[in-house]
């Protein structure tokens, strides 16, 4: 049986250096005789890594969000439409022996977390997942060192929200 290596990362357009890095990763995976598994989309890390692996003669699997192969990179040998949306991230991780994570957002972070929870080795290349987590959504991640700091921070958030919502007479 062949070894499946999952490559996770941003689905957004990549600059030239990021594309080259993902392409190279896919090619190196293929030259080792491993199977590349990605989310299969036609953009970002998934496209670049798949392109590199296919150019190097490797087998490329894409586990797709949608019910069809529409929007998939043309560099797939096997497209697996799931209709699961981002829930397919669990399949990406669980079907991979090792997960390699390139810079990405909340979806990539979910794959990193799922991989760790499943006992997989996750290799993060050229990014720090905690820093990415801080920038991954409209919320705010705050790291503190104690319970007292946590409560003080929570109180500050509540106070700021209260200041923005003055009581109306009908609320009294």
The alpha helices in 32-85, defined as continuous H runs, are 44-55
pTM attached to this predicted model = 0.82
Angle subtended by helix axes 16-31 and 44-55, to nearest 10: 40
Q: What is the pLDDT along the chain (172 residues), one digit of tens a residue?
A: 999 999 999 999 999 999 999 999 999 999 999 999 999 999 999 999 999 999 999 999 999 999 999 999 999 999 999 999 999 999 999 999 999 999 998 899 999 999 999 999 999 998 888 777 777 667 777 778 999 999 999 999 999 988 875 544 443 3
Domains and CATH numbers, the chain: 4-128 (3.40.50.450)
DSSP string, 114-166: HHHHTT-EEEE-SS-HHHHHHTSSSS-----SSHHHHHHHHHHHHHHHHHHSP
């Amino acid at each position: 049986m062949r070894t499946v290596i999952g490559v996770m990362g941003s689905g957004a357009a990549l600059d030239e250096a990021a594309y080259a890095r993902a392409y190279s990763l896919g090619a190196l995976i293929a030259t080792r005789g491993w199977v590349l598994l990605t989310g299969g989309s036609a953009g970002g890390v998934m496209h670049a890594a798949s392109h590199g692996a296919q150019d190097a003669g490797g087998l490329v699997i894409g586990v797709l969000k949608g019910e069809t192969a529409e929007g998939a990179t043309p560099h797939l040998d096997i497209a697996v439409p799931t209709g699961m949306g981002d829930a397919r991230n669990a399949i990406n991780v669980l079907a991979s022996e090792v997960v390699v994570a390139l810079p990405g957002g909340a979806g990539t972070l979910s794959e990193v977390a799922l991989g760790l929870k499943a006992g997989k080795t996750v290799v993060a290349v050229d990014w720090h997942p905690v820093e990415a987590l801080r920038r991954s959504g409209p919320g705010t991640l705050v790291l503190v060192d104690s319970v007292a700091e946590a409560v003080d921070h929570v109180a500050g958030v509540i106070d700021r929200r209260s200041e923005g919502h003055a009581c109306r007479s009908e609320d009294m």
